[in-house]
Structures are given as structure tokens and as C-alpha cells.
């Protein structure tokens, strides 16, 4: 990148950068938490989560000592919960291996759970002010357009090439400003639909000059989405509800859910759903409940799935033992972490109250 463009980028960033809470005091821990939260999540969504997180877990030690349920509860609603689990385990790694102080070398940081090339680069650059590039999707987009790179950015060799370009262009003086400026430019100007008229680099940007911003960056084929249809019985006995905790190693590990039964399609006929549910309750859970009401459908996405949840409320007379499940009071359910779609069902239950057999 030409020196005049680096100068223009710096001036643009210092005058236009957003006021973000993790920029106020960019401690290594704050940078780490913010960068993990920002992965696949918009800034506006992250800000309140970050503020609550830093209040609840102000230090690496506080995070390491917290039970995983408390960590996931604070993360509830952000999705991609493996990020929270990795942060938690990473904090424990730092306590055990580095006496609670985040290290400042590439090799030591990469040995911590969940820290990849981008997060390591961000910590070294923004927190320790080292001359290291932090290359996320925003930076990939800026640099592929600026240099006119027409190669698939999903390929490792192409990503390595772009990381090398990013590091080469960093100046010796205050390199962290340019590193963060590239991210800011991609997030606010060089977006999927580029705002080239606002860009400080448009004079030399090859994609802009050749009118190729809609074609660059080049990506591989999208991963197909699988649609899931699930009947979800909310089974109450008095003030307690039947739930299960996600199994370790699974997508929803340590997150609570109601029972659910997969069906082949979304049958919107309530009577048909009730009939399917009746059979599933008997066969899968050995329960016979009294149907009380149907709740509005809930749709949510996770990894490569899009789920349509069809909840129905049931009441039973006794808390029978159901392998893999547990009965938890409604008050206690308020305190435990739920997967996204099931949390919305719980909110409806909390709003309307529990049914009785009367």
C-alpha cells in the first residue's frame, strides 16, 4: 500500500473512529473478550454484552473461577456458545500457565484455548502495541479490493498471502493504529455493499477503479442450510418443568433445553401436532400429560441449521424419572443458560405462567 494511502487511512480513522467501550481502556483482557464477542456478531449487539461481562467478570481470575453455567448465562443470546466456553477455559489456562497475566508472544498466546491467528494478532496489536496484523473478514475485504485479488479467500494459501500483505504495510511508528483502521474501514465503509465515495483509499483501490467491488472478495460456495422442524413439549408438574442439559462436546453443550421431537415437515394443524406429540411423549419419555395450550412458533438458527420450534404446554401429575432429564423449578430456570430458541419459549412461559391440571 502506498505511503500516502497509509497516511490517509490514519487520518480518516483518527477522525472517524467509533467510540467503543473496549477502546477506552484496551487492556489485554478487554481486547481478548471484545474480539471474541465480535466474531460473527455486530458491534451494536456486542456493546451491552461486553459491558455486562466486564462488570460480572472484571478480571481473568474472576472468569476462571466462575462456574461454566454462569459464564454461559452471561453469554445467553449471543450465539456460537463455543466462544464462551473457550474464553472460560482460556482464562483457566492463563491462570495455570501464566499466573493470570495474558502473555505477549505469538506462541504463548496460541497455546491458550480458542485463540487463533486473528485474536492473537488483535491482542498483540491493540493491547501490547506490537507490529502485528489482525486480519479478520473486514480486513480481507479491504485488502482484496485494494490490491484487486481475485482468488478464493476461503483457501488457506490466499489467507496467508493477505496476512503477509497486512503485516508488510504496517508502519514502524504506531502500527496498531493502521491495524485497527483497516478493521474499522471494512466495518463501516468497505462493507459488502461498498461506500466507495467515503473511502480514503479509493484513489488506488483496484476493485473501485475497475468497478469490481461487487465481485471482490471471491468466496467459495456457501454451505447449505438444513431446516429442522421440531415439536417442543413444555411439561410442567406444579412449579417445576422437565428440561435437559446439552451433552459435553455437542453444539448445545451445557445449555438447557425442553424435550423436542424432530418431524419431517411443519404441519400447522394443531390437532395433528397434538397427536404426534402424544405418541412421542409416550414412546420417548414414558409420560402421559394433559395438553393445555399451543404457544407461538419460534424460529432460530445455529451453525448450519435453521430450526422451526412448535411448542405445546402440558401438565402432569407426578415428577416421573426421565433418563437424561431433570425437573427444575421455574425460578431456578431463570438463572440457568438456555439455547436461543428454547430461551424464547421459556420467556413465553414466564409471561403466561404455568398450567395446572384443574
180 carries an active-site annotation: no
Q: How far apart are CA 7 and CA 59, in angstroms?
A: 36
Catalytic residue among 24, 25, 35, 294, which? Answer: 35
Q: Are 190 and 145 in contact (CB under 8 A)?
A: yes
Residue 75 Cα distances to 36, 48, 82, 115, 133, angstroms: 11, 11, 10, 18, 28
Bridge-partner residues for 326, per DSSP? 243
The beta-strand segments (E) located in the chain are 226-237, 240-245, 256-257, 261-263, 290-294, 298-302, 305-315, 326-329
Bridge-partner residues for 152, per DSSP? 218
Q: Are 231 and 310 in contact (CB under 8 A)?
A: yes
DSSP H helices in 99-225: 106-110, 117-122, 137-147, 156-169, 175-188, 206-209
Q: How far apart are CA 144 and CA 207, in angstroms?
A: 8
Q: How far apart are CA 82 and CA 116, in angstroms?
A: 14
Residue 32 Cα distances to 23, 83, 90, 103, angstroms: 12, 11, 10, 12
Q: How far apart are CA 55 and CA 356, in angstroms?
A: 39
Q: How far apart are CA 353 and CA 358, in angstroms?
A: 14
Q: Could you write out the DSSP letters of every residue in 323-351? A: TT-EEEEHHHHTTS-B-HHHHHHHHHHHH
Question: Which amino acids are annotated catalytic?
Answer: 35
Amino acid at each position: 500500500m502506498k505511503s500516502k494511502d497509509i497516511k490517509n487511512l490514519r487520518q480518516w480513522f483518527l477522525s472517524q473512529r467509533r467510540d467503543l467501550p473496549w477502546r477506552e481502556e484496551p487492556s489485554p483482557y478487554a481486547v481478548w473478550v471484545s474480539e471474541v464477542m465480535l466474531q460473527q456478531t455486530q458491534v451494536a449487539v456486542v456493546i451491552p454484552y461486553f459491558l455486562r461481562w466486564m462488570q460480572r467478570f472484571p478480571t481473568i481470575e474472576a472468569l476462571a473461577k466462575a462456574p461454566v453455567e454462569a459464564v454461559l448465562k452471561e453469554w445467553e443470546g449471543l450465539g456460537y456458545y463455543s466462544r464462551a466456553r473457550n474464553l472460560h477455559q482460556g482464562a483457566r489456562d492463563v491462570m495455570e500457565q501464566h499466573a493470570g497475566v495474558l502473555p505477549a508472544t505469538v506462541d504463548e498466546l496460541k497455546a491458550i484455548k480458542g485463540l487463533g491467528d486473528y485474536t492473537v494478532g488483535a491482542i498483540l496489536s491493540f493491547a501490547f502495541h506490537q507490529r502485528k496484523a489482525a486480519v479478520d473478514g473486514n480486513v480481507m475485504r479491504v485488502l482484496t479490493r485494494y490490491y484487486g485479488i481475485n482468488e478464493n479467500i476461503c483457501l488457506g494459501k490466499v489467507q496467508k498471502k493477505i496476512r503477509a500483505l497486512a503485516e508488510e504495510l504496517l508502519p514502524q511508528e504506531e502500527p496498531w493504529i493502521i491495524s485497527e483502521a483497516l478493521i474499522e474501514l471494512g466495518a463501516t465503509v468497505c462493507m459488502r455493499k461498498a461506500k466507495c465515495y467515503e473511502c480514503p483509499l479509493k484513489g488506488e483501490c483496484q476493485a473501485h477503479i475497475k468497478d469490481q467491488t461487487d465481485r471482490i472478495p471471491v468466496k467459495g460456495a456457501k454451505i447449505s442450510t438444513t431446516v429442522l422442524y421440531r415439536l417442543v413439549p413444555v411439561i410442567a408438574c406444579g412449579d417445576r418443568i422437565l428440561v435437559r442439559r446439552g451433552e459435553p462436546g455437542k453444539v448445545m453443550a451445557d445449555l438447557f433445553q425442553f424435550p423436542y421431537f424432530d418431524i419431517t415437515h411443519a404441519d400447522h394443524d394443531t390437532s395433528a401436532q397434538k397427536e404426534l406429540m402424544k405418541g412421542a411423549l409416550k414412546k420417548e419419555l414414558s409420560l402421559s400429560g394433559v395438553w393445555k395450550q399451543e404457544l407461538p412458533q419460534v424460529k432460530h438458527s445455529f451453525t448450519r441449521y435453521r430450526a422451526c420450534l412448535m411448542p405445546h404446554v402440558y401438565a402432569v401429575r407426578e415428577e416421573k424419572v426421565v433418563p437424561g432429564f431433570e425437573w427444575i423449578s421455574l425460578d431456578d430456570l431463570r438463572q440457568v443458560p438456555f439455547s436461543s430458541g428454547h430461551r424464547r419459549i421459556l420467556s413465553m412461559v414466564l409471561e403466561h405462567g404455568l398450567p395446572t391440571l384443574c
